[in-house]
Amino acid sequence: MQLRPLSRFLLRWFASSLGLAVAAAILSTISYNRDLGVIVIAGLVLAIINTIIKPILVVLALPAVILTLGLFMIIINGLTVYIASRLYHPLHVTNFWAAVFAGVVIGLVNYLVSIVIRDIKAT
């Protein structure tokens, strides 16, 4: 069963928000004033960036992605988090490398959410 585009976007929004909350809990370099609304809106901003800007970044960085056997995607994920923090100021990421680490955490959370959703769809 295929998810509709709106359902897929809402799932991406939820996973991004959850990933940001986990990253902020783990990393001291991310702050959001402990306001759940900031995490939800930042997750929305990140989901929009991942939907619109990230595919463009991947195409532009394709040679680097191929040369590093996909490891450059970690940098691209960090760049999307960094862009989100610059566009939405209540989410504060101290520097680019903190955003890269946050991108790794968010990527892991997204992966876990996708496994759970795939298992639910299978039953």
Residue ranges per domain, the chain?
5-122
Torsion of CA 17, 82, 4, 41, to 10 degrees: 40
Under 8 Å CB-to-CB from 114, ≥6 apart: which residues?
15
Query: Is residue 62 helix, strand or coil?
Result: helix
pLDDT value at 122 more than 80: no
CB 121 within 8 A of CB 1: yes
pLDDT value at 94 more than 90: yes
Q: How far apart are CA 116 and CA 123, in angstroms?
A: 11
Q: How far apart are CA 38 and CA 21, in angstroms?
A: 10
Question: pLDDT tens digits, residue range 6-36?
Answer: 888 999 999 999 999 999 999 999 998 888 9
Question: pLDDT tens digits, residue range 72-90?
Answer: 999 999 999 999 999 999 9
Per-residue pLDDT at 1: 58
How many helices and strands in the chain, by DSSP H and E? 5, 2
CB 50 within 8 A of CB 79: no
Q: Return the bridge partners of 30, or none.
A: 93
Question: Phi/psi of residue 68, each to 5°?
Answer: -95, 10
pTM of the full predicted structure?
Answer: 0.90
